[in-house]
Amino acid sequence: MQILVNDERHDVTACDLAALLDELGYDATARIATAVDGCFVAAGRRAAHPLHDGARVEILAPMQGG
């Protein structure tokens, strides 16, 4: 399945968001937030959030800000 992660194409086998993070190498302690197709997906709901071909996934991390 081909999906977009932070605007980059990825061919993945994962079928849900939790599996995707695992496949991309994020461990369970990573301090990140996720959104799929523009909607926030809370950490506790990632395993129950299925991915579809062409899904737009955003993975965001803490960063400097003003």
Contacts with other proteins by CB under 8 A lie at 6-8, 24-25, 30-35, 38-40, 42-43, 58-66
* Closest CB 58 distance from other proteins, rounded Å: 7
**Pairing status of strand 39-41 against strand 8-11:** unpaired
Q: How far apart are CA 53 and CA 42, in angstroms?
A: 21
**Quick check: 6 and 56 in contact, CB under 8 A?**
no
Give the DSSP H or E segment for 17: helix 17-23
Shortest distance in whole angstroms from residue 27 CB to other proteins: 10
State the minimum distance, in angstroms, from the CB of residue 18 to other proteins.
15
Q: Which is nearer to other proteins, 11 or 38 (CB)?
A: 38
